[in-house]
Amino acid sequence: MSLTDILSPSDIAAALRDCQAPDSFSPKKFFQISGMSKKSSSQLKEIFRILDNDQSGFIEEDELKYFLQRFECGARVLTTSETKSFLAAADHDGDGKIGAE
């Protein structure tokens, strides 16, 4: 399964266009534009599984840096500040990684 089986390719493209400039990435806005914010819990878990590159059950900081590239190979890498902000917003237990929950 791929992300385009769950999300519209045009919505993914729009979300990536919105954050092309360094330090312009906003997880909340990306999730809205890409359509992720409208998906069911089971669909979000499948998206998480696809984004979890090493299939560890968590998305760690190293994987998060390449978050946009999981949507499109040529997409940019998140900046250090974007990666740290994204991790801080989603890491609810402070363990330095994001779980599917």
- Per-residue pLDDT tens for 63-74? 999 999 999 999
Q: Is 11 annotated as a binding residue?
A: no
- CB-facing half-sphere around the CA of 31: CA atoms within 13 A: 13
* 56 in a known ligand binding site: yes
Would you say 54 is a known binding-site residue?
Answer: yes
Provide the residue range defining the domain that includes 39. Answer: 7-93
18 annotated as a binding-site residue: no
Q: Is 91 annotated as contributing to ligand binding?
A: yes
As a whole number of angstroms, the distance between CA 28 and CA 36 comes to 10
Decide if 66 is inside a domain.
yes
| Structural domain contains residue 101 | no
**62 is annotated as contributing to ligand binding:** no
Q: Residue 100 domain-assigned?
A: no
In a domain, 24, yes or no: yes
CB 16 within 8 A of CB 68: yes
> Does 87 reside within a domain?
yes
Instruction: Collect the ranges in the chain with pLDDT lower than 50.
Output: none
CATH of the domain at 50: 1.10.238.10
Q: Within a domain: residue 75?
A: yes
Tally of domains within the chain: 1
pLDDT of res. 68: 97
Residue 19 to residue 30: CA distance in whole angstroms: 8
pTM beyond 0.85: the answer is yes
